[in-house]
């Protein structure tokens, strides 16, 4: 017998549209699963569950007309970095453990406008900085495939929630891989849109242009449907990507044609990173699958030079330092955050401006090098998901940071260039751990990337895989 959580988000939306189930009934189904599966020994998906707000939203949707989005009435969740009016938002930090915003940001407003029901706030590390989710305000987020291993970060809670069947689809954000990393760890689709595709209003807190929100889902079509909800400019945006002629969901049903695809597996930001044999196997299998579908796959040199790495790190440290923490609460910050903040505060204004300019020149050179290709294939991560605590090092934050780079040596490249990128769960280790494979596309070609991803999913389906405890 099929349970509601076995269905895709789009299938659940179709049930709502045909009045076979109400948004409230769907929400109650997932709230019950959260209570049962995400307690103290759960997957660490949620920081805050907003049950009263869920009930009020469900009642409102029950008496109103069905909205245009195919995800109308479908439950979801919002990352704890995003402002949600009236719902506690900790930014993954004990310094904000009791903060309740009086405004919602664009992501929350877009989800609400589509008639989706947010069940609460998903777990994230402090200010979304590290690639693991082990904050002081919640238990670690773990992958449901092996609960001794981390879900990745910084959208670890969102990925754990989707992978464990606590929500059918969820929003994440990605400034250096934070959607794609947990998608790989949890066996999901994680889509980082092009720069300017999703508005960061009203805070616009990233002057470098590295970060964006995007979907985490079990299928490409579900991810595309949530991207349709999130995408679009708001007045004041510093970057924007032109809206496609058709929806991103429609793009999934269009064949991509024969594409020219570049590939490289040389670690980019950590040249000495050790790449697990299963990661290489997944990468080679994906290459063979692409060729079997008629695409031309070519090896290319790494498109960003080693000199780009310290420039990126300068920008990353300054962005961490921009987090406005009340002085009397700075002692609550994690050692890694304090270390990065100190690095960022040591950078002068002119030096920061020069770093942004230099990073954009490196990005331009990479875009020129990759311009002949429709897509780029790399692994997502250097290894399968790691044990909880394997990267974190509170006694030596510098070593912690280097371990993060070795775990994620490819993802941040596409934040630098602004290209859309997706991690797909095309491979599993012999003992069942998920291994993602990553594809990126030309800037603003999100629709073509989704078309290609949907083609791969049709050729090598993964939707029926279920983690233990499903």
Taking only Cα atoms into account, the Rg of the chain, rounded to an integer number of angstroms, comes to: 20
Residue 320 φ then ψ, to 5°: -65, -40
Cβ neighbours of 426 (radius 10 Å) = 22
Burial 169-178 (b: 16+ CB within 10 A, else e): bbbbbbbbbb
Q: Which of 69, 79, 194, 412 is catalytic?
A: 79
- Angle of CA points 335, 176, 465, to nearest 5°: 105
Query: In the annotation, is 154 catalytic?
Result: yes
**Of 178, 199, 323, 412, which one is the catalytic site residue?**
178
Residue of 110, 154, 194, 451 with catalytic role: 154
The answer to whether 412 is a known catalytic residue is: no
Residues forming the active site: 79, 154, 178
């Amino acid at each position: 017998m099929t349970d509601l959580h076995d269905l895709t988000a789009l299938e659940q939306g179709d049930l709502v549209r045909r009045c076979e189930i109400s948004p409230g009934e769907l929400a109650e189904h997932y709230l019950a699963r959260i209570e049962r599966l995400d307690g103290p020994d759960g997957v660490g998906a949620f920081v805050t569950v907003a049950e009263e707000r869920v009930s009020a939203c469900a009642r409102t949707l029950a008496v109103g007309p069905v909205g245009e989005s195919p995800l109308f009435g479908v439950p979801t969740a919002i990352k704890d970095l995003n402002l949600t009016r009236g719902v506690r938002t900790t930014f993954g930090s004990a310094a904000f453990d009791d903060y309740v915003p009086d405004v919602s940001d664009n992501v929350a407003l877009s989800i609400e406008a589509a008639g989706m029901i947010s069940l609460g706030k998903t777990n994230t590390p402090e200010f979304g900085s590290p690639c693991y989710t082990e904050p002081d305000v919640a238990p670690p987020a773990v992958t449901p495939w092996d609960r001794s291993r981390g879900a990745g970060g910084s959208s670890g809670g969102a990925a754990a929630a989707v992978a464990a069947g606590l929500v059918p689809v969820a929003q994440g954000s990605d400034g250096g891989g934070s959607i794609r990393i947990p998608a790989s760890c949890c066996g999901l689709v994680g889509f980082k849109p092009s720069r300017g595709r999703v508005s960061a209003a009203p805070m616009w807190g990233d002057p470098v242009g590295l970060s964006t929100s995007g979907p985490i889902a079990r299928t490409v079509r579900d991810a595309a449907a949530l991207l349709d909800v999130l995408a679009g400019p708001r007045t004041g945006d510093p970057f924007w990507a032109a809206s496609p002629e058709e929806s991103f969901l429609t793009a999934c049903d269009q064949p991509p044609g024969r594409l020219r695809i570049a590939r490289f597996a040389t670690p980019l930001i950590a040249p000495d990173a050790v790449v697990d044999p299963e990661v290489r196997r997944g990468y080679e299998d994906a290459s063979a699958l692409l060729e079997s579908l008629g695409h031309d796959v070519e090896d290319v040199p790494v498109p960003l030079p080693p000199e780009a790495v310290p420039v990126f790190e300068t920008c990353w440290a300054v962005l961490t330092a921009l987090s406005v923490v009340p002085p009397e609460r700075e002692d609550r910050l994690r050692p890694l955050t304090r270390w990065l903040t100190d690095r960022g505060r040591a950078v002068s204004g002119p030096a920061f401006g020069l770093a942004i300019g230099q990073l954009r020149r490196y990005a331009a050179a990479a875009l020129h090098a990759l311009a002949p290709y429709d897509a780029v294939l790399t692994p997502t991560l250097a290894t399968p998901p790691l044990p909880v605590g394997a990267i974190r090092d509170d006694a030596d934050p510098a070593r912690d940071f280097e371990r993060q780079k070795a775990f994620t040596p490819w993802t941040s490249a596409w934040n630098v260039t602004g290209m859309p990128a997706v991690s797909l769960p095309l491979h599993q280790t012999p003992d069942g751990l998920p291994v993602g494979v990553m594809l990126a596309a030309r800037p603003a070609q999100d629709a073509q990337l989704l078309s290609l991803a949907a083609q791969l999913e049709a050729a090598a389906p993964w939707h029926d895989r279920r983690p233990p405890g499903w």
